[in-house]
Structure 1
Amino acid sequence: MPSVSGMVAAAPTPPEAALAPAHTDWLRHTLAVTGPTAVVERFQAAAAGAGVVPWLLDLDRMEEDWFLALAAPPEGERAISLAGARILARRLRDAAHANHQRALARLDTDRRCPFDLQRLLPVPPAILRLGPEDPASRAWLWAHWGTTRALRHVRALPAELDGRRRRMAELRVEFWSADWSPWQALRRLRRDWPDLTLDLRPHYGDAAAAASDTAIAHPLRTPSRQPGPPATRPTKRPRTRHG
């Protein structure tokens, strides 16, 4: 499996070129962070968070999107009455709001996510106010993280560092990213933590088990706008589609 630990990423593409396919594919990665024990421990403390991006959600728009998807499905045949579609859309809105509030309540105390990009490279408040679906938000994530959505299913893995390497430590994590490896984030972290080696390995064969829990936060999400592809595509995997 190829490693991108030594990758020198191409210059960032213009924000309008952020790649946001209508159907998100999720790519599994493992990341090994190695270096002097004290530095790894500092990085581990800095990276640990709740794994939550505190977006300001436009609940009215989300409810309307869900209603339209139910009332006028792409297949052309509605399976629910208009009144039923309105009721279900409101229930989805309430569920999304409750789920988001629970997530926000964990921000200041939860440190169970071992590699939280919002802690390491936080989204600015002005971008957070736009919400996760705004083109400017997607462009910011692409330019600074190298992907267009927050990482999912982040978990710590057992260290594999050779025990003979004294005074050295390793942090290993697994996560899923949307469509692309978080190459911009890795480039920035390598610059900010020069004493550490960050070895990122994408696992291209795991797309069938993609972490597609989009329905939790955005059930029946309508397709997002798809800008043109960038001039260069770092850490790209073969495109596959999964329902």
Structure 2
Amino acid sequence: MDNSETGAGTNADGILAPAHTDWLRHVLTVAGPIADVAEFECRARGPSAVPWHLDLDHEELRLLAPMAAAGPAARGLALALRAQVEADHQRVLAAADQPGGGCPLDLHRLVPIPVRILQLGDDAPASRLWLWTHWGTLRPLRHVRRLDPVADRWRKRTVRVEWEFWSADWTPWRAIVQLRQDWPNLRFDVRPDYGDASDG
């Protein structure tokens, strides 16, 4: 697909991305020995929330700026919003430290973002470049759903499991390449569905 048709272009940080995020539907199939697939499933489960460092003072100023014309009341609103952002962030940090989670396919659990990158925050150029280089997409997967496993009738003790998910702008192909290296006993196949693309 031509980049001019999608509005995609290479940003100043060297990342090829559309001007507006486009969420694309995919199905990932993982097949192999039952024990290996089970271990992969266990490792893949997480909160789907990345524990980025958050500068709360910066967030407060960012929230206050568009409300400055509203006068002193805006300060109280900005403080309330800051408290909500902080509470949400604390929940993310707590979930990141716990095993398992509500998302059956968490890229951060499978291809973890290094602490030194997390400390930079999610909008730092180095963070975006790391995500592009190691995940192939700039955001965690959305709307992840594990489909029913299928036993291989021709080979005993093997199983095939599928996940449906939506990925920001691109297939997370670089993460898939890493998973193939990390799990040599498993077969990975990812199929994008460009026809059903919509904003997730």
Higher helix share: 2
Write the distance in 2 (CA, Å) between the matches of 1:162 and 1:19: 39
- Map 1:27-176 onto structure 2 (within 5 A): 27-70=24-67, 81-107=70-96, 108-176=98-166
Retained in 1: the 8 A contact 2:42–2:100?
no
- Structure number with higher relative contact order (C-alpha < 8 Å, ≥ 6 residues apart): 1
Which residue of structure 2 aligns with residue 17 of structure 1? 14
SS of residue paired to 2:145: strand
1:197 positional shift: 1.5
Show structure 1 runs of 5+ residues with no match.
1-12, 72-79, 212-243
Write the distance in 2 (CA, Å) between the matches of 1:205 and 1:70: 40
1:134 positional shift: 1.0
Which residue of structure 2 aligns with residue 179 of structure 1? 169
Q: Structure 1 length as normaliser, TM-score?
A: 0.69
Write the distance in 2 (CA, Å) between the matches of 1:82 and 1:110: 45
1:64 positional shift: 2.2
Higher strand share: 2
Show structure 2 runs of 5+ residues with no match.
1-9
1:201 to 172, 191, 198: 191
Equivalent AA in structure 1 for residue 90 of structure 2: Q
Retained in 2: the 8 A contact 1:49–1:113?
yes
Number of positions where the alignment pairs a residue of Structure 1 with one of Structure 2? 189
CA distance 1:70–1:30, shift in 2 (3 Å): farther
1:45 positional shift: 1.7
